[in-house]
Amino acid sequence: MLPISAQESLVTTKWFVHKDAVPGVDYDPERLRQVWMRPTIRTVFWVKRNQRGINSIGYQPGPYSETYEFGVINFLDWYSETY
């Protein structure tokens, strides 16, 4: 996922199959798309809902809430220490 602006992101999808795999023989490209779409549909719902919140007049940017967003804080700490 690549942020393009505050309102837009570019999502790139890659499917990994064996280097010698033949589409339609060793795997079904349509099935790969279906498997990808199932969680993506749910994710799109939450992303749109989150964006509505960010676009609302009540939103103010600032630090993460230690009370409500501790999971995000923990993930970011772990990620920055790991990578």
**Cβ neighbours for 54, distance < 8 A, ≥ 6 positions apart:** 6
8 part of a folded domain? yes
75 part of a folded domain? no
71 part of a folded domain? no
72 part of a folded domain? no
pTM above 0.75, yes or no: no
DSSP per residue, 57-74: TT----SPPTTT-HHHHH
- Structural domain count of the chain: 1
HSE value, Cβ hemisphere, 13 Å, CA-based, for 31: 7
What's residue 22's pLDDT?
96
66 part of a folded domain? no
Query: Domain residues for 25?
Result: 2-60
**Cβ neighbours for 69, distance < 8 A, ≥ 6 positions apart:** none
What's residue 14's pLDDT?
84
> What is the sign of the dihedral through the CA atoms of 19, 32, 40 and 6?
positive
pLDDT of 27-75, one tens digit each? 999 999 999 888 888 888 998 898 899 899 998 889 999 999 999 999 9
pLDDT higher at 9 or 34: 34
Structure tokens at 64: 């993460």
What's residue 80's pLDDT?
95
